[in-house]
């Protein structure tokens, strides 16, 4: 099973400069994919998830073109070859 996670520019510095992380391990859900990402790059998931494992309020995760907020949240199921895209929300400072 291959899952790709596309990171925004602000997080490249925490991903050894990469903009895409490929996961080969089984990731049935978005939560599983983020857990695998965290095992490899914990500094990235620090910035995506709260201490309670919830998606930060101004971080959006898309599976394909659909936001997980309008699917099943972090329990949204993934298919082989899915692409997750992390996008900061329109809010800003």
Residues that bind another protein (CB under 8 A): 10-11, 13-14, 42-43, 46-48, 50-54, 56, 58-59, 88-89, 91-93
Nearer to another protein, 46 or 66 (CB): 46
Minimum Å distance from CB 91 to another protein? 5
Q: Which of 35-68 are b and which e, b meaning 16 or more Cβ less than 10 Å from the residue's Cβ?
A: bbbbeebeebbebbbeeeeebeeebbbbbeeeeb
Nearer to another protein, 1 or 12 (CB): 12
User: What is the full DSSP assignment across 30-49?
Assistant: HHHHHHHHHHH-HHHHHHHB
Nearer to another protein, 10 or 20 (CB): 10
User: What is the full DSSP assignment across 49-60?
Assistant: B-TTSPBPTTEE
Nearer to another protein, 20 or 43 (CB): 43
């Amino acid at each position: 099973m291959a899952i790709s996670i596309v990171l925004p520019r602000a997080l490249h510095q925490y991903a050894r400069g990469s903009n895409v992380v490929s996961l080969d391990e089984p990731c049935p859900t978005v939560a599983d994919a983020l857990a695998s990402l965290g095992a490899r790059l914990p500094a990235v998931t620090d910035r995506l998830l709260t201490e309670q494992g919830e998606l930060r309020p101004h971080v959006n995760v898309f599976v394909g073109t659909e936001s997980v907020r309008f699917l099943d949240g972090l329990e949204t199921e993934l298919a082989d070859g899915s692409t997750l895209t992390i996008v900061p929300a329109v809010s800003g400072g």
